[in-house]
Amino acid sequence: MKFLKTLFACYFLLASLAASASDGPGRWPIEKANKWYRNQPWLVGTNFVPSTAVNQIEMWQEDTFDPETIKRELGWASELGMNTMRVFLHDILWNEDKEGFFKRIDEYLKIADQYGIKTMFVFFDGVWHPVPKAGKQPEPTPHLHNSAWVQSPGKEILSDTSRFDELKPYVQSVLTRYKNDYRVLIWDLFNEPENDNAGSWGEKNRKIEMPKQEKMKQTTELLRRAFAWAREVNPSQPITAGLWGKPTWPETLKEIDRISLFYSDVISFHSYYGPEITQKMVDDLSLYGRPLLCTEYMARGEDSKFENIMPIFAEHKVAAYNWGLVDGKSQTKYPWVTWEKPFTEEPKEWHHDIFRANGKPYSKKEVKFIKKIIKKTNR
């Protein structure tokens, strides 16, 4: 049995090396990617939106940008030992107010830097509400997970390939401004691009998403272009786009997975699974020889918990970004199933998030564990 596992690993490695012939133009050589990663501590952080923002638009718009809350909550993250955040941008924000948008990003980066926190910025997102709008954002629907999070770009642009190049100035303008900024750690081009949102805005619910196969086709093309736009700027930071969903890669890679895997400088992925499947993901993806970053994990009800997942990441130096820091308007302490099964009170077991809005931890034991493992791994 051990021999067969070794044989499979060797075969997989050879296959992955052969696949490198399909690397996207401008992709960092493996040696460069690994040299960059060796200079990093064990990267640990969260997907961050302040508790006072219902979505990424509300986080960044002038009227609702909240540096006081950002400073307070990043301070709590720093006390845990966290050194990085994954933060979502939006094309609407750039189109509506370029200079104001950059001013607020600069202010956020200044605050994060005060706490020794570097940022991974995300340009596009394929998850939740497909019709984003500028201006006042809706209040959260009570007890509903991420009730007002929005996609970027929205359905109007995503469904029309002829409009994709309207997004190029946004991507390249942001990259150009921060391409050599030490406070920016990495660029994530597209979060879960082909997610069909079936349980929320798709087939099972409000039915205003585009058909699954159409979205797959459109996001595959947009992701390909986004990599090309980013390579034209050639930032000093690495570029990535994450693998997500059922962990059937590398056995059944879709075209969009191939782009994510073979165009990215460093390999990123999501895992909301327990330790056995997460360990297999790490083992499989490690064979490609590039640094690994798990840009989403930790859903307590799915057996993806700090106590059983962080040790795997620490052992293999996989960067670890859990979803959610502080319970707030995004309401991600509620599980995904609230879109199909309404809740009327706070769940006994939180889905995501670490702190309550007053700074008290959801679990003192959990916080103690996070501090201990980060300190031990980065000493």
Dist CA 51 CA 245 (whole Å): 26
Candidate from 66-80, 116-130, 250-264, 356-370 with smallest mean pLDDT: 250-264
| pLDDT above 60 for 15 | no
Does the pLDDT of residue 4 top 80, yes or no? no
8 — pLDDT class (breaks 50, 70, 90): very low
Report if residue 112 sits inside a domain: yes
Lowest mean pLDDT among 27-31, 102-106, 338-342: 338-342
Strand segments, DSSP code E, in 49-199 are: 84-88, 118-125, 184-191
pLDDT of residue 200: 86
**Residue 24: pLDDT over 90:** no
Largest CA distance in the chain: 62
pLDDT score recorded for residue 207: 74
Residue 252's pLDDT is: 83
List Cβ neighbours of 141 (8 Å cut-off, separation of 6 or more). Answer: 147, 148
pLDDT of amino acid 282:
97
Q: What is the mean pLDDT of residues 17-40?
A: 84
pLDDT band at 93 (very low <50, low <70, confident <90, very high): very high
Residue 326: give the domain boundaries.
2-12+30-377
17 is a domain residue: no
Please report whether residue 142 resides in a domain.
yes
Percent above pLDDT 70 for the chain? 94
Instruction: Assess if residue 308 is contained within a domain.
Output: yes
pLDDT over 90 for what percent of the chain? 87
Residue 200 or 282, more confident: 282
Exposed (0-12), middle (13-18) or buried (19+): which is 41, by Cβ within 10 Å? middle
Q: How far apart are alpha carbons 47 and 36 in whole angstroms?
A: 22
Q: Does residue 19 sit within a domain?
A: no
Q: How far is CA 230 from the centre of its chain?
A: 17
pLDDT of residue 201: 79
User: Nearest to residue 127, comparing CAs of 55, 184, 186, 49?
Assistant: 55
Total number of domains in the chain: 1
pTM of the shown model:
0.94
CA-angle at 290, arms to 31 and 30, nearest 5° = 25
pLDDT at residue 21 greater than cutoff 80: no
pLDDT of residue 355: 98
How far is Cα 159 from Cα 222, in angstroms, rounded to an integer?
10
Query: What CATH number is associated with residue 220?
Result: 3.20.20.80
- Residue 198, pLDDT score: 85
Residue 248: predicted pLDDT? 79
Q: For residue 351, count CB atoms less than 10 angstroms from its CB and return exposed for 0-12, middle for 13-18, buried for 19 or more.
A: buried
Query: Is 24 domain-assigned?
Result: no
Judge whether 18 lies within some domain: no
pLDDT bucket at 199, cuts 50 / 70 / 90: confident
Residue 201 within any structural domain of the chain? yes
What is the rounded average pLDDT for all residues in the chain?
A: 93
Of the pLDDT bands very low, low, confident and very high (cuts 50, 70, 90), residue 251 is: confident
286-339, pLDDT tens digit by residue?
999 999 999 999 999 999 999 999 999 999 999 999 999 999 999 999 999 999
